[in-house]
A = this chain, B = another copy of it.
């Protein structure tokens, strides 16, 4: 036996993993832009420069790809939002999070943005594992908001903040009228405002 037991010869060991990542990245973009169901495996693989049969050498099913896609998309979204929060001085961190999330840039680029804001109602009807993954990712977003709020010495509820952010962004993408769409973004951003005394 030329190879130690339990090990398999792997040539070009990186290649398989690179292809896999290419599929995930392609799917992450297209799912967020077009939805999950409308992006077929064959069509997706051809966008990645591959043929559809090879898909199942990397993923047991489309559902598993959706799960990986969700996690991969959120890693980037969380990193991006973290950077915005870290760059902001204490007292303005929640504001920075909310302003970054509810921006025209984010609204206009769902393919590079938050997976939840792009796909939440479709994902809510997916299999248990997909919903679990998305639940975890939304939880990470809540944790991010919680840290920002704590650093600000403020007292908003992070789950309220995230609910407002996702809702406002989703609505702003439905609304075609540019002015009205921006009003929903602006309304969502108000969730970051410090509490005001009642009149």
Chain A interfacial positions (CB closer than 8 Å to B): 34-35, 37-38, 116-125, 128, 131-132, 134-135, 138, 155, 157-160, 162-168, 170-171, 173-177, 180, 183-184, 187-188, 190-191, 194-199
Contact = CB atoms under 8 A, between A and B. Distances in A.
Nearest to A102: B163
A31 B60 CA distance: 29
Number of identical monomers bound together in the oligomeric complex: 2
Contact of A34 (B125, B163, B167, B183): B125
Q: Decide if the interface of chain A is mainly helix, strand, loop or mixed.
A: helix
Contacts of A159: 168, 183-184, 187-188
Given A131-B175, A177-B135, A187-B157, A170 B37 contact: no
